[in-house]
Structure 1
Amino acid sequence: MARPLAGPQTLLRTLNGRAILETLARRGSLTRADLMAETGLSRTAVTQVLRMLESVGAVAPAGVDRETRGPAAGRVALHPQLGFAAVVHVDGHGAHVVLVDPTGAVRAEQHAPFTPHVERVELISGLIETCLQSVRGPLHVVIAGVPGIVSADGAIRDDEGPDGGAFRNALEKRLGCPARIENDVNLAALAELTAGSGASLASFALLLLDEGLGAGIVIDGSVHRGFSGVAGEVMYVPQTPLPIGAPVLSDAVVGDLALAHGRDPQAPVVQHLDAAADGDEAAQAMAAEMARRLTLVAGTIALVLDPEAFILGGLAAHPVLVDAVAREADDLAARLPMRFLVSSFGPEAPLVGGIGEAAAALRATVFAQLVPSVDRSSARRA
């Protein structure tokens, strides 16, 4: 008659199993000796846990190590069919989708513009389903980065008002897995925090200029979203002589500046910035005003939060704006010193941040399913 495992044994097995799975996710295929060195577990413990993980389809052989001296050692890796997470970056023009595996590697990618005849969730779901056709394994979780205010329960508030979580619920219903909605600038800040210009900083504010201006606030190594998700909506920070609620910097604001300086108000922002780089005086005047507004927003944040640095992302990382912001900051330095850095990822920052979050969420989901299976498999053999 099989006896139930004692509590401490089950807990130890769970911890050891998760340690090995996390190590394989982080490092890729490894030998038993590698796993012993990485986890601090004994050879016996590693061998036992690997045997159990292989029995539930969590790991699989991955060739042999012929680079070290002595007999060739077998390698193991996470099973290639553990499943995937989808990362979605939504902007005003379209959606960009990637599938990642538990290691964070991108396994498939699709993007498409929004059209008047296709609903947003339908387009995104179609892109994800197309990606899934090129891989083998289930979809476990979706991370979607969107513009607008995102509350803790995944509801979005944008120019059309609050959606009450309708977007998230529709994605989950269509795809049959949990979906997490994040503000796109917060995802970009996570990218900078993890592996970008903010990796060595305890606090910073990412100022990302795209269709509008948003901030990703990092305090003590964590993104600060605020009580209702409104933290970082700096496009509406009051600036004289603008009325309360007027945008400080956006596509519409740049269009007005272009009109005032005799340039095409329908031209994209980057076209004006490129013209400024080529010496166009009207475009340079526009860039100077954009930089003034950016710097005043940064100064407002500095007086409240005092971050170590500000990271310029999106169109704010254009060399013309970077130089113009530096000049504005120099003028303020005696009264309010501020340090400005440039994003490591440019327009891809929200997607990069989403990939890191999706890989972590996927590992948590898959490993939580696998470790109980390991325990049940061990109990049957007891």
Structure 2
Amino acid sequence: MTRPLAGPQTLLRTMNARAILEALARRGALTRGELMKETGLSRTAVTQVLRMLESRDAVASAGVDRATRGPVATRVGLNPRLGLAAAIHVDHHDIHVVLLDATGAIRAEEHGPLPLVDGRAEAIAGLIERCRSSAGAPVLVATVAVPGIVRGDGEIRDDQGPDGGAFRTALAERLGCPVRIENDVNLAALAELSGPIGTERQAFALLLLDDGLGAAYIVDGALHRGVTGMAGEVNYLPQPPLPIGAPVLGHTVTADLALVAGRDPALPLPVHLDAAAAGDVSARVMAAEAARRLVLIAGSITLVLDPGLIVLAGDAAHPVLFEAVAAAAEEFADQLPLSFARSAFGAEAPLVGAVHEAADALRATLFTRILTPESSRT
């Protein structure tokens, strides 16, 4: 007779507790019956684990389910006061902060202008404090999306300070929690991986156009950042007849294209693209040139990585520019077929990616705290 596997009851209880915590984080508040269905655990096991989690203030009653047949069933959910994560998007002009709980639900949100470099950490901390005062729980982890090169260890390549990471150090000290820094285009690609595009494809490249142009690569379902974090710095790829070292696209290029087309160089690209949509001929000429440059970058990426799909995000996802890209790509179809898709999240893609990463980090932190015996905590 084959003997059943045996092990310490504490280990089994910990595994069952993690399964229940993950189900509550994934689905929100559930009844005991729903937890049994989600986890495959028996009613007795679910009851025992919930009793343990309640003793550690990890779960709390979340009302009753009156829609089910039979006796009224009490729902339980993760305690909303366990802790929160902060997801922050810092672009060239603004700061966008959201606080979220372990289920990924947004609990508070704030916007503010981006100050000088020396005031970045203070400005972010101030916005988070305004959010936290209404959310009513401590911030345990933070994920920050920033433009620029971010190394694998989370340091910004051109940051100041003796440790090479003055911004992250200052922000972590102000918030009193671990801070992860990540490139905004990388987070945009991770957002797409978690969305409709990711359900269909495990490999694609993303091109995000705003004040500059950046790329990110998903290979075999994972982000490819390169050894030093420079993977995706495509805005200075040689593109004749541009001089070596000249940017391909971005706000300075938009101003130059506007001057050539006889339009106002102070206007941002989306305004020109809206004018093109309304039929302005000079604006359509600008869109066609921007599209040609995007297609050449996409072709270079395809020749090296062969991602199969190029996702256009930010201003590159504007309907006029997306249509112009499709038309420009058609000219090269015989030599190099290219496939394009618009971002599912638009301008919010970097923040969506930061939210997903912050939620994952928060769950890992909370579950470790909850499942670590009191006697083992330091």
* Shorter-normalised TM range: over 0.9
The offset of 1:33, in angstroms, is: 1.1
1:126 deviates by: 0.3
State the Cα distance separating 1:198 from its structure 2 match: 3.5
1:38 aligns with 2:38: yes
- CA gap of 1:108–1:161, structure 2 versus 1, over 3 A, is same
Tell me: CA distance 1:274–1:141, structure 2 relative to 1, closer, same or farther (3 Å): same
1:89 counterpart letter in structure 2 = H
How far does the alpha carbon of each residue in 1:133-166 deviate from its partner, in whole angstroms, 9 at most, with x for none? 1022111001000000001122113599998111
CA distance in 2, matches of 1:295, 1:159: 32
Residue in 2 aligned with 1:183? 183
CA deviation after TM superposition for structure 1 residue 370, in Å? 0.4
Does the C-alpha gap of structure 1 residues 293 and 82 become closer, same or farther in structure 2, counting only changes over 3 Å? same
Matched, 1:311 2:275: no
Query: Aligned to 2:81, what secondary structure does the other structure show?
Result: coil
Q: Is the 8 A contact 1:202 1:308 kept in 2?
A: no
Structure-2 separation of matches of 1:207 and 1:8: 51
The alignment status of 1:251 with 2:251, answered yes or no, reads yes
SS of corresponding position for 2:218:
strand
Give the structure 1 partner of residue 96 of structure 2: 96
Shift of 1:331: 1.1
- 2 CA distance for matches of 1:87 and 1:343? 20
Could you tell me which runs of 5 or more consecutive residues in structure 1 were left unpaired when the two chains were aligned.
1-5, 378-382
The Cα offsets for residues 156-181 of structure 1, whole Å up to 9 and x where unpaired, read as 13599998111111100111000000
1:124 aligns with 2:107: no
TM-score by length of 1: 0.93
C-alpha contact 1:153 1:165 (8 A) present in aligned 2: no
Q: How many residues align?
A: 372
User: Is the CA contact 2:191–2:353 (under 8 Å) kept in the aligned structure 1?
Assistant: yes
Aligned letter for 1:254? T
Return closer, same or farther for 1:344/1:25 CA change in 2, 3 Å cut-off.
same
Distance 1:40 1:270 in 2: 51
Question: For 1:7 and 1:244, how far apart are their aligned partners in 2?
Answer: 65
Going from structure 1 to structure 2, the CA distance change for 1:223 and 1:254 (only over 3 Å counts) comes to same
Alignment match, 2:3: none
TM-score by length of 2: 0.94
2:207·2:215 contact (CA, 8 Å) conserved in 1? yes
In the TM superposition, what whole-angstrom CA distance separates every residue of 1:113-132 from its partner, at most 9, and x where no partner exists?
12459711111110001111
* d(CA) in 1 for partners of 2:33, 2:41: 10
Q: Kindly provide the CA deviation profile for residues 318-337 of structure 1, in whole angstroms up to 9, marking residues without a partner as x.
A: 11111110011111111111
Pair 1:263 & 2:243 matched = no
Select the structure with the greater relative contact order (CA < 8 A; seq sep ≥ 6). 1
Residue in structure 1 matched with residue 150 of structure 2 by the alignment: 150
Deviation of 1:243 (Å): 2.8
Deviation, 1:9, is 2.4
Q: Which amino acid aligns with 1:253?
A: V
Paired with 1:204 and 1:88, the residues of 2 have a C-alpha distance of 25
* 1:380 alignment partner in structure 2: none
Q: Is the 8 A contact 1:156 1:163 kept in 2?
A: no
CA–CA distance in structure 2, aligned partners of residues 125 and 376 of structure 1? 32
* Distance 1:312-1:161 versus aligned 2 partners, 3 A rule: farther
Letter in 2 for 1:373: P
> Aligned partners of 1:364 and 1:330: how far apart in 2?
46
Give a deviation string over 1:341-382, Cα, whole Å, max 9, x none.
1111110111111111111110000110000138979xxxxx
Q: Does the 8 A contact of 1:313 with 1:347 survive in 2?
A: yes
Assess if the C-alpha contact under 8 Å between 2:160 and 2:167 holds in 1.
no
Structure 1 residues 93 and 163: CA distance shift in structure 2, 3 A: farther
CA spacing shift, 1:63–1:42, aligned 2, 3 Å:
same
For the 8 Å contact 2:159–2:166, the answer to whether it is kept is no
Match of 2:203 in 1: 203
